[in-house]
Amino acid sequence: MYTGLYAAVSGSFAQEKRLAILTNNLANANTVGFKADRPVFEVIPSPVVVQAASPAGTAPGSFTLLNQLQGRDSTQTQLRTVSTDFSQGDVQQTGNPLDLALEGRGFFAVQTPSGVAYTRQGNLSLSAGGTLVTHGGLPVLGSEGAIQITGGKPQISPAGQVVVNGTVVGQLQLVDFPQPYALDKQGEVLFRPRYPDTPTSAANAVVRQGAIETANAQPVRLLVSVLESSRAYEAYQKVIQAFNDTAGRAVNDIAGRA
């Protein structure tokens, strides 16, 4: 048993998890209001301490990573947490009066079957009954419940006031939470507070009508990261295979001497 095997296995698992997170970010690069996730890893000591010998039969220099992993103290890489990047996405003009982008900190409040959730996704529409809903069909909440729009095109102010034919029909519920955000992602674009925090008014949020906030995932950078992670995963797999081959030869040698 070699110290590097533990590092290689844990490193392989870590790269597999990182790859899953990166590919999900890439898949949502065109999702309105999407916030990219960032894996946070930690390296911890392994309780197993063994000799730091190179596997017999391994060609010198054939596995640089293998040599780097050899050491008297074994370590393991573990996923500590997945954090969400809440930075502002680009604001893109669409001209659709039901498209809303938020500039600055804050979220729209929406009603879900399991309670109120929060989102930055503002490509909205009207239900058959005239309720303002999200792309997924969830009612968008105002200060007095779901917002109803009938009889004309809405005019929505930077403060979130909704006016139809000169009559105020609602006020968008724009909320914020203390930073750093302790929000858990539900699906791709919904968030819920991790603790029972009461949201406050998003005083500095500005609503831009006829625009959407694009995802803050950067496709080109993500593609590079996916390639890097894939190659690292393959390298770890080669290291594991090298240890496996070495163990197999050792077993055969012992069996041959018996």
Q: Which residues contact 177 (CB under 8 A, 6 or more apart)?
A: 183, 193, 197, 199, 200
Predicted confidence at residue 252, as pLDDT, reads 65
Q: What is the pLDDT confidence band of residue 248, given thresholds at 50, 70 and 90?
A: low
For residues 197 and 55, give the distance between their C-alpha atoms in angstroms, rounded to a whole number. Answer: 54
Residues contacting residue 53 through CB under 8 Å, at least 6 positions apart: 2, 70
137-180 tens-digit pLDDT:
999 999 999 999 998 899 999 999 999 999 999 999 999 999 99
- Mean pLDDT score of the chain, rounded to an integer? 83
At 240, which amino acid appears?
I
Q: What is the pLDDT of residues 18-51, one digit of tens each?
A: 888 999 999 999 999 999 999 887 777 655 444 3
Cβ-contact 210, 99 below 8 angstroms = yes
Note the Cα 122 to chain centre separation in Å: 19
Is pLDDT at 206 greater than 50 in this prediction?
yes
Q: Would you say the pTM of this structure is higher than 0.85?
A: no
* H-helix or E-strand spanning residue 83: strand 75-84
